[in-house]
Structure 1
């Protein structure tokens, strides 16, 4: 009888007291069903985790279509407390669109930042479940910034992990940065609805992109050729791909110049780092991507809002938003406007700002988010 490498790894780690107990999945075939598991690559293994695994599980993508996706699961050191390790569902920031960019394959784009951040949560006594999002590391295309899809993927990752390991509690919070900050906000809005059998407690989002739909509607060939960061140009290309994936009838390619189509093709094959480097070298203008304005699409603002507009009401658990005042990766005034709206309308939100940039806010926020999350778990 042949024994898989995974089985050998599980047996070896179990003899050292590190491997969690694997249990049968409770919902065969449905969202959150575990289809398989495998060891994580070194690049995707969080330093300090006592044990880690890559889960392959069922979830949904655009139009609630079933799909297969993946997640990384990290366990802290020591004996699990009674009831199991509480779960931090990590919603990662932008890594790219290609399968080899997936978090559970290549690890984070911002390695030092993310490992320091997630390592802190491990030391605080939480297990970490990091969903890849549909189309990353699995079949199909990744609908970048499609918040409802990302919320399903995050909830289903928690469902898969908690059904597989006895050492995990069903008590969980979602924590995310940048693209994952938006995913965390969407998850906060829909967590109870999408995962009623789980014990969702609340959310933390940093570097959250808000009201992009209000700005994106003005993108087109008439944009002035002002210098922008290569990261922002990459985000525009990723958003175009997300729109094309979410609304295939839009004919996004028909809005673009030859240059725009070439760059969009490159964006589907390169992770965020290499794509940003190529854009920095070539210095294309955003306006040069377009043959006609994005606003010529019928009901453009409505489409953009349904695709990535952050929910403005309906939050049933506390949410923490942390933001760097020098953040230029997202439109900071719009994020602060969103936070102010939630506060003014009585949503259960706590807002803190920090004198730092997009990356700096992640770890700067821990001074406030750790006690916030600790209180959520009582």
Structure 2
């Protein structure tokens, strides 16, 4: 989604106008804000906002207020875009500053219906119970939808720089939303696992140069797909092979010159087309146990242009400015443990403050659940100003 093109600005404006109508906001006003937000202003500026809700389970009450926001951000190649997300603030009587978590969800799918902002109000978001652990601590949370998920265009799944921008700009948007009661001095924590691990790690690497004004106290990141070429090779023909084709579609969305369609055979074209409209449960089943050669006429990942773009999303080149808590399951069946360890080694070699924990029991999906208390406690220590315990 490259909003420098007028047709994309019109599409975004139409989407925001539709949101505004549902919230009782004049469509003309929302459209004008969307047009202005896509062309001028700063990354993180709020283009539009509307009241929303946060429910961990259907009908389960929470003592929070929530808003759906559209905010300015930046694509992987530096063009301005507009991303949606949800700001959640506990209503606990607390006055004065409170911490903010900018939360990057794991893989939900590529269809717009999968976007967190479309599920958090109804208790159908997969990581809502994890998010509630943070609101119960009195922390505000902002959850990005990522580029193209819930907004016009195809979701740029696994495109690291785009995701990192979206996570950082979500934090900026939350601090600039007057109703949220936050501000420029708000202490910020970055969190995410799996796809969210890639996004949060990219946010950690980019923060010093892209959003240095954010008061980031630490990043908790897990199950990180730090090297997409190695992850693709690991999953080719296995249970997680559908993720390869989702990632290819996401890279192609960000970089249309890759021409993914020209590599796909009829079965591959049908699979990818379905993935763009579906959520992860369907995508994972439809794409599992397939080899790249089953769905292509030639392997795009063997081509220099594809390799260059995937390498552009590889982590480990820049040391995060704030401390990092990184965790990975030894028996991770989707993201090789060695990929996580390599990221830790590269960050440590560059002088980063990294605490790495191995999840000895469990696998990829369970890791984010079983380690959630450790993650929350580590971040609470960062907000409290306690010294971290790196183990490089």
Q: Which category of TM-score, normalised to the shorter sequence, fits these structures?
A: 0.7 to 0.9
State the Cα deviation string for residues 250-288 of structure 1 (Å, max 9, x = none): 2222222111111111111111122234446xx644420
- Report if the CA contact (8 A) 2:54-2:66 is conserved: no
Alignment of 1:351-370 (within 5 A): 351-354=356-359, 355-370=361-376
Q: Distance in 1 between matches of 2:316 and 2:242?
A: 25
Aligned length: 347
State the Cα deviation string for residues 202-229 of structure 1 (Å, max 9, x = none): 201112112222354799xxx7xx5x22
- SS of the residue 2:127 aligns to: helix
Q: Distance in 2 between matches of 1:199 and 1:212?
A: 30
Match of 1:118 among 113, 117, 131: 131
Q: Under a length normalisation based on structure 1, what TM-score does the superposition of the two structures give? A: 0.82
Q: Distance in 1 between matches of 2:164 and 2:226?
A: 16
Residue 47 of structure 1: how far off its partner (Å): 5.3
- Please tell me whether residue 157 in structure 1 is matched to residue 162 in structure 2: no
Q: 1:113 to 1:365 in 2, by over 3 A?
A: farther
Structure 1 segments, 4+ long, off by >6 Å, are 41-46
What corresponds to 1:53 in structure 2? 67
- SS of the residue 2:150 aligns to: coil
What corresponds to 1:37 in structure 2? 49
Match of 2:92 among 78, 81, 88: 78
What corresponds to 2:251 in structure 1? 243
Residue 330 of structure 1: how far off its partner (Å): 1.5
State the Cα deviation string for residues 123-175 of structure 1 (Å, max 9, x = none): 11211100111101112222111111111111111111111135224220110
- Report if the CA contact (8 A) 1:259-1:289 is conserved: yes
Q: 1:168 to 1:41 in 2, by over 3 A?
A: closer
Q: Distance in 2 between matches of 1:179 and 1:366?
A: 16
Q: 1:376 to 1:31 in 2, by over 3 A?
A: same
Give the aligned CA root-mean-square deviation in angstroms.
3.0
What corresponds to 1:68 in structure 2? 82
- Please tell me whether residue 335 in structure 1 is matched to residue 357 in structure 2: no
- Please tell me whether residue 93 in structure 1 is matched to residue 98 in structure 2: no
Q: Under a length normalisation based on structure 2, what TM-score does the superposition of the two structures give? A: 0.80
Q: Distance in 2 between matches of 1:277 and 1:284?
A: 10
- Report if the CA contact (8 A) 1:47-1:119 is conserved: no
Segments of 5+ residues of structure 1 without an aligned counterpart are 9-24
Match of 2:323 among 312, 318, 323: 318
Match of 1:205 among 221, 233, 246: 221
Q: Distance in 2 between matches of 1:204 and 1:75?
A: 20
Residue 192 of structure 1: how far off its partner (Å): 2.8
- SS of the residue 2:230 aligns to: helix
- Report if the CA contact (8 A) 1:41-1:106 is conserved: no
Q: Distance in 2 between matches of 1:190 and 1:325?
A: 27
- Report if the CA contact (8 A) 2:56-2:128 is conserved: no
- Report if the CA contact (8 A) 1:103-1:132 is conserved: yes
What corresponds to 2:152 in structure 1? 139
Q: Distance in 2 between matches of 1:133 and 1:259?
A: 28
- SS of the residue 1:259 aligns to: helix
Alignment of 1:171-250 (within 5 A): 171-214=187-230, 216=232, 226=237, 228-229=238-239, 232-250=240-258
Q: 1:186 to 1:137 in 2, by over 3 A?
A: same
- Please tell me whether residue 264 in structure 1 is matched to residue 272 in structure 2: yes
Moved more, 326-335 or 364-373: 364-373
State the Cα deviation string for residues 178-205 of structure 1 (Å, max 9, x = none): 1011100000011232223321222011
Q: 1:295 to 1:160 in 2, by over 3 A?
A: closer
- Report if the CA contact (8 A) 2:112-2:150 is conserved: yes
Q: 1:112 to 1:101 in 2, by over 3 A?
A: closer
What corresponds to 1:20 in structure 2? none
Q: Distance in 2 between matches of 1:42 and 1:203?
A: 23
Residue 49 of structure 1: how far off its partner (Å): 4.3
